[in-house]
């Protein structure tokens, strides 16, 4: 009978997948001689580990792979999405009270953006759904610094030239005009750095307020700012589901 393919991971990834810490932290443990594989001291983070067979220890204690967790956080403005900030600003990790495993963010939100942030230790799922080919829709509520014309909204819809290439078509809805500002809802399937802010800047406007109100099937409903909840099994299945090619039902 054919043997199953071994599931290989680098040692730093293996430790971070186990929910013990970030890959950066894992590399420092490995470098400082705290990690053994099958009883042998390994000090190179790129060492390959067979998930099914190899026995890994940290400070002599066996490392077990963590249970998968999927958390949806309502990120407040003023929190960064990296694990540690050299400037000491608050991080989203300080809001995950009661979560013992290390969860990575699925995409990022800027310091000044609030709204939905998905976090998980399922790195395969995170990689899959952040790939633009997965076409996971993210909807943002935007307060623009100016009033925007219908032509400008069409430009956002059709794709806008940014320094890293044109944006893919977006769904754009004018919510209302109030005083000197247009409020709009924009849905994109990419997740480039500061994408919505740069799209507005390309129109000679600016984002004054940005809230991510939807990720695929997930909305802010039921969450207050700073709060998190687990995804339901049905939501996990929906998020992972590959989008159907256009024109099929």
Pair of tokens at residue 169:
């078509």
Residue 153 as a binder of ligand URA (CB under 6 A): the answer is no
Residue 196 as a binder of ligand URA (CB under 6 A): the answer is yes
Determine the Cα–Cα distance for residues 217 and 246; give it in Å rounded to an integer: 18
Which of the residues 79 through 138 are near ligand URA (CB under 6 A)? 109-110, 113
Which of the residues 166 through 195 are near ligand URA (CB under 6 A)? 194-195
Of 54 and 137, the one with the shorter C-beta distance to ligand URA is 137
- Residue 93 DSSP class: G
Which residues, in sequence order, are CB contacts of 139 under 8 Å at separation 6+?
185, 186, 187, 212, 213, 214
Among 136, 210, 215, 231, binds ligand URA (CB under 6 A): 210
Q: Among residues 46, 100, 110, 204, which one is catalytic? A: 110
Which residues, in sequence order, are CB contacts of 111 under 8 Å at separation 6+?
77, 78, 79, 80, 89
Residue 11 as a binder of ligand URA (CB under 6 A): the answer is no
**Could you confirm whether 110 is annotated as catalytic?**
yes
Of 120 and 195, the one with the shorter C-beta distance to ligand URA is 195
Nearest approach in angstroms of CB 103 to ligand URA is: 18
Determine the Cα–Cα distance for residues 115 and 221; give it in Å rounded to an integer: 11
* Max CA distance (Å), the chain: 72
> Which residues of this chain interact with ligand URA, rule CB under 6 A?
109-110, 113, 194-197, 210
Catalytic site positions:
110
């Amino acid at each position: 009978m054919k043997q199953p393919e071994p599931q290989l991971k680098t040692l730093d990834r293996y430790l971070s997948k186990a929910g013990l810490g970030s890959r950066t932290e894992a590399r420092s443990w490995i470098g400082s001689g705290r990690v053994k594989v099958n009883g042998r001291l390994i000090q190179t983070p790129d060492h390959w580990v067979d998930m099914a067979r190899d026995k890994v220890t940290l400070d002599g204690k066996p490392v077990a792979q963590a249970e998968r967790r999927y958390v949806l956080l309502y990120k407040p403005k003023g929190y960064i999405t990296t694990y540690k900030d050299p400037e000491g600003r608050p991080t989203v990790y300080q809001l995950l009270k009661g979560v013992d495993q290390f969860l990575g963010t699925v995409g990022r939100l800027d310091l000044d953006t609030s709204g939905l942030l998905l976090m998980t230790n399922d790195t395969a799922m995170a990689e899959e759904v952040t790939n633009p080919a997965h076409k996971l829709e993210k909807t943002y509520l935007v307060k623009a610094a100016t009033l925007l014309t219908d032509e400008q909204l069409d430009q956002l819809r059709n794709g806008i030239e940014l320094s890293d290439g044109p944006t893919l078509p977006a769904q754009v809805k004018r919510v209302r005009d109030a005083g000197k500002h247009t409020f709009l809802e924009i849905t994109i399937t990419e997740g480039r750095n500061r994408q919505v802010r740069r799209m507005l800047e390309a129109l000679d406007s600016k984002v004054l307020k940005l809230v991510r109100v939807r990720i695929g099937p997930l909305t802010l409903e039921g969450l207050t700012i700073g709060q998190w909840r687990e995804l339901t099994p049905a939501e996990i299945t929906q998020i992972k589901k590959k989008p159907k090619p256009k024109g099929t039902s």
